[in-house]
Structure 1
Amino acid sequence: MTRYAVTLAALAALCASPALAADGKALFAAKGCVACHGEAGAKPIAGSPNIAGQNAVYLLRQMTEIADGTRSSAPVKVMKPVIDKTTPDERKVLAEWLATQRPAEAQPGDKAKAEQGAELFDENGCIGCHGADGLKPLADYPFLAGQRKDYLMVQIKAIRDEIRSTRRTRMMTANVRKFSEAQVEQVAEFLSQTKRK
C-alpha cells in the first residue's frame, strides 16, 4: 500500500470515528450546514431558519421527516440531499448540539405590525402549543420567538394553504386558515421581534 493510500485510509477512519460523530460542531461544519444556517445555526441566509437554541426534539423530528420524505415542501427540498448523508445518530448529535447554542438576536421591525401580530397570536390559540410569545413551547414543538420573519411567513402560509401538511401541521391549519397576507406578516413581525430569554 502506498503512503498516499495509507493517508487516505487514515483520513477515512478518522471521519468515521465515534469522536467525530459525537461532535455536533464538527458535524455541522462537515455536512455543510453552515452554508445556509450560518455559524452555529444563528446566522442563516434569507429564507432559512435560525436553528441555534432550538428545541432538540423538534429539530430531530424535522430532520427525520425530511429524510423520510414526510416533509417535502419547496423550502426544505434543498436539504434532502444533505440530510440523506447523515445517519440517525448524527442527526441526534446535531440536534442536541444546536439546542445548546446561543439563539439568534430578535430582529428590528415594524412595531405597530408586531402589536397586531401579538393579538393574533393570542386570539388564535398559538399559545397552546408554542407558549406565551412563542417562548415556551411544548416539549416537541419549536421556539418561534426570534425566528426570521421571512422564514416564518413562508411557513405560516405553507401551513395555512396545506402545502406543508404533516400530522402536526394539520393540527395548526385550523388556527391560521383565515389569516390574510397582512395578518401572516403581522404574526411574523411579532415573533421575529420577540427576544429569546
Structure 2
Amino acid sequence: MVTTRLSPSLAPRRATRPRHARAALALAAICLLAPALGNAAGPVPTAPTDTLSSATVQRVVQICASCHGEDGRSLRPEFPVLAGQRSNYIQRQLKALRSEERFEVHRSGDMQAVAGWLDDAAIRSLGDYFERQIPLSGRPSGASADVLAEGQRLFIKGQPERGVRACASCHGDAAEGAASFPRLAGQHAPYLLQQLQAFQARQRPHGILMEQETAPMSPAQLQAVAAWLQTR
C-alpha cells in the first residue's frame, strides 16, 4: 500500500481551527443565509417534491458564487466546480457536511457552517440547480503529454496488475459521473489531487470505497489522473 503524507495545509481542521473562529463562520452563515432561506432552519421537509422557489434558490446560489463562481463554474483551483455535477452527489456531500460526517481537508469547516443552515429542501434544490448548469470545458493542466497519457490510461483501463481499477468503471467513460458517482471531467486538478490524497490518507471517513481504490496508487499516478481530468 502506498501512503501519501499530506502537508500540514491538508490536515483536518477539526483539530486546528479555533472554536471562536468556527463560531464566527457559523454566525456569518446565519446572517447571510437566514434571509434567503426563510424557514430553512425550521422543520425539515420530507416530501420529494418539496423544494425551494427559483427566486430563493438564486439568492442562495449568489452566496455559493463567492467561492464556487457564477452558477458553480469555479475559476479558483481550491474550490470545486459545481456546474454540471450530479445532483445526488451534491446532496450527499452537503448532508455529510451538515452532520459533520465529512470534515477532512481545508475549508470544509466553512462549508459545515453553511450546510448547517440548509434543510433537505434547500439541499435538494441546490443539487438540482447545479446539475442543470453548463460545466466548465476542459482546460490545459500544464502536465506533459506523457503524464496526460498515463492519466488517461489509468482512468480508462486502470492497472490491474497493481490492483488499480479503472476510474471509468464508476465515473463513466467520459468522466461525467453516474447516479451517485460524481462528475470529474473538467474539475480543477489541484482540487482533485487534494481529494485523492485525502482518500488515500483516510481523511474522508465516508469514502471507504475510494480509500480502497486509491490505496495502491503512487503519488505520480494520483497526479496524472487529476491532471488528465482537468483537460476533459
Counterpart residue number, 1:89: 121
The answer to whether structure 1 residue 59 and structure 2 residue 93 are counterparts is no
The answer to whether structure 1 residue 26 and structure 2 residue 54 are counterparts is no
CA distance in 2, matches of 1:14, 1:84: 14
Q: Secondary structure at the match of 1:103?
A: coil
Q: Summarize deviations over 1:58-87 as a string: whole Å, max 9, x none.
A: 111110111011111123222111111222
**Structure 2: tracts of 5 or more residues without a match:** 1-33, 41-50, 159-164
CA distance in 1, matches of 2:196, 2:76: 19
> Is the contact between residue 52 and residue 101 of structure 1 (CA under 8 Å) also seen in structure 2?
yes
Quick one: which of 198, 201, 209 aligns to 1:171? Answer: 209
Quick one: which of 136, 147, 157 aligns to 1:104? Answer: 136
TM score, norm. by length of structure 2: 0.70
CA distance in 2, matches of 1:26, 1:13: 9
Give the 5 Å matches for 1:63-142: 63-75=94-106, 76-109=108-141, 110=143, 111-121=145-155, 122-123=157-158, 124-135=165-176, 137-142=177-182
Taking a change above 3 Å as real, the CA distance of residues 98 and 90 of structure 1, as seen in their structure-2 partners, is same
CA distance in 2, matches of 1:15, 1:43: 23
How far did 1:125 drift? 2.4
Moved over 3 A (4+): 12-15
Would you tell me which structure has more helix in proportion to its own residues?
1
> Is the contact between residue 36 and residue 59 of structure 2 (CA under 8 Å) also seen in structure 1?
no
Counterpart residue number, 1:9: none
Taking a change above 3 Å as real, the CA distance of residues 13 and 138 of structure 1, as seen in their structure-2 partners, is closer
**Structure 1: tracts of 5 or more residues without a match:** 1-11
How far did 1:119 drift? 1.2
> Is the contact between residue 73 and residue 82 of structure 2 (CA under 8 Å) also seen in structure 1?
yes
> Is the contact between residue 36 and residue 60 of structure 2 (CA under 8 Å) also seen in structure 1?
no
Opposite residue 42 of structure 1, the aligned amino acid is R
How far did 1:133 drift? 3.7
> Is the contact between residue 37 and residue 60 of structure 2 (CA under 8 Å) also seen in structure 1?
no
Give the 5 Å matches for 1:137-148: 137-148=177-188
Taking a change above 3 Å as real, the CA distance of residues 44 and 90 of structure 1, as seen in their structure-2 partners, is farther
How far did 1:164 drift? 1.1
The answer to whether structure 1 residue 160 and structure 2 residue 191 are counterparts is no
Taking a change above 3 Å as real, the CA distance of residues 164 and 148 of structure 1, as seen in their structure-2 partners, is same
CA distance in 2, matches of 1:14, 1:82: 12
Opposite residue 129 of structure 1, the aligned amino acid is C
How far did 1:146 drift? 0.7
Q: Summarize deviations over 1:127-178 as a string: whole Å, max 9, x none.
A: 221111412x331110111111011000011111111121xx2112222112
Counterpart residue number, 1:7: none
Counterpart residue number, 1:3: none
Opposite residue 116 of structure 1, the aligned amino acid is E
CA distance in 2, matches of 1:13, 1:49: 26
Q: How many residues align?
A: 177
> Is the contact between residue 25 and residue 40 of structure 1 (CA under 8 Å) also seen in structure 2?
no
Opposite residue 226 of structure 2, the aligned amino acid is A
Taking a change above 3 Å as real, the CA distance of residues 186 and 13 of structure 1, as seen in their structure-2 partners, is closer
The Cα RMSD (Å) is: 2.1
CA distance in 2, matches of 1:142, 1:52: 12
Opposite residue 148 of structure 2, the aligned amino acid is A
